Each structure stands twice: as structure tokens, then as C-alpha cells.
Amino acid sequence: MKKIKFYFQGESGAFSEEAGFKFFGPSSEGIPAENFVDVVKNVLRDKNSFGILPIENSSIGSIHSNYDLLLKYPVFIIGEINLIVKQHLIGLKEASIDKIKKIISHPAAIQQCQKFLNSLKKVKVDLSYDTAGSVKIIKEKNLIDTAAISSEISAKLYDMKILKRNIQDNDKNITRFIVISSKMRLPKKNPKTSIVFTLKNVPGALFRALSVFALRDIDLTKIESRPIPEKPFEYYFYLDFKGSIKQLVAINALNNLKEISSFLKVLGSYEENTIK
């Protein structure tokens, strides 16, 4: 039996890798990629692999660039993972928190820890390409006066010390990750579907679009708009609803939506991962 492979952005120990292991199990293989675009391109090149992308966080909102990738590339969402993200301040074994002069991490992690960072005096905060990658940089360069914001897993992986635990602003800091594939899969239970569409710029267009779901008692779990770059002040609408594209009620709703939309793409039907 072949080992399941998944690509993720960052270095070993990243939250995306943790999400991948949570979804596929510890016997799967996580393969680092430099950026999110490379994750998608690797999935399209290696047809039997999967990709893990963070798509939204309960504290800072959606990762819009990854929504744009779903629109641009022919990949499908086949699963989701809600991961409780605990951020820790990590340094060398001999480091102490009162001697730290600089903190580095991924922009999303820094956004999630603003209260803690604002409480510090004379500490510079710099952006890095990855949470776990920041820990790796400090280890490799032996930066005694620098700390990273990252996971407990990354501290153990690179044999580093946690200087302060749970520095995230919100104790219920949850990131939703999606699993992508070059092939669509349909869920066996608890179906959820993601779509993106555009509308003609006429009065009541959005009301009519949402009505195709409301009139059929289809539960919408998310709707978000994104600007269309080449069409100023026109928008893509990303929408999640409970149900599968194989269910008759959803088929009828999507057919109705096609009639009133300018563009419609199904991003995938997959099993909903409920937060417990």
C-alpha cells in the first residue's frame, strides 16, 4: 500500500503539516513547499498527492490569497480540518525571555499574538516565511537574542526551548485548513459544498442568488466577497453550504444559480469537520 503524500507550505513542524497528519494519519508523508502556489502546482503535477492550505482563522479571518488559488487552478476541496492553534514563544535552550531583542514569525502568527507583542518593550518584530521555519533559522544561526512564534511540535523538532506558552490573543484560536486534490471526491457523510460565482450588476442580484438556497432550506455556513481585479468594484462571491452536489436539492439550487449568475465554479463537496 502506497504511503499518502501531502504538500504543505513551510518547514517541518508547521501547523499545515500538523493539520495534514490530523487528516491523513501519522503514517502519511508531509512534503514541504516554499509557498502556497507551489503546494497547488505540486498537487497538479503529482496526481496522486494532496495539498493542505489554511483558508481562514477564527481570530484574523480569511486567507484571501488561498481563495484566489482555488479560483485560478483546477483543484478541488476534498476535506477540511479545524485545528486549535496554540502559539508559543520559542528560543534557544540558553535563551531567556528578558534578553530577547527580536521576534520573528509568519505574518498570520504575528497577527494572532498582538496583545502579547504590544506588551513587550524594545523588542523588534520581523516577518518570516513560516512559523516552524522561523524556529529553524534561529537554531541554524544560533541567534541567542531572537525568538520565534511557533508550535510546540516545532520546538521539540528543532530541540528548542519554549520561553512562554500560549501567547495567542484568543484561547479558542482555530484555523480551518482545506485538503485539495486534482480530482473531485464526494463525501460519504455530513456533506458540505464550496462554490464561487459572479453576478450581473443589476438591482437585487445578490438577494436572488441567496434566495435559491433559502427557498430550498439549504443552510449557508459562509459567504464572502472578493474584488475582481480586472473589473473595479465588481466581486467574486465565495459561498459554503451544507449538502452535496449529488443531492437533488443542491442540483436544483445550483442550476437556478447558473441562470442568474455570470460565472459559477464548484470548488468541491467534502465532509464537514465540526468544531467540538
Enumerate the active-site residues: 175, 177
- Cα gap 268→184, rounded to integer Å: 7
DSSP-derived secondary structure letter, 7? E
How far apart are alpha carbons 175 and 56 in whole angstroms? 6
Contact status, residue 81 vs residue 176, Cβ threshold 8 Å: yes
Query: Bridge-partner residues for 32, per DSSP?
Result: 8
The H or E element containing residue 110 is: helix 107-111
Partners of 235 in beta bridges: 227
SS3 98: helix
CA dihedral 80, 84, 89, 90 (to 10 degrees): -60
**Angle formed by the axes of helices 36-45 and 64-72, nearest 10°:** 30
The CA distance from 130 to 18, in Å, is: 14
Residues listed for the chain: 276
The CA–CA distances, whole Å, from 122 to 65, 107, 125, 173 equal 32, 19, 10, 27
Task: Reduce the DSSP state of residue 222 to 3 states and report it.
Answer: strand
- Phi first, then psi, for residue 144 (nearest 5°) are -70, -30
Is 3:27 a contact under the CB 8 Å cutoff? yes
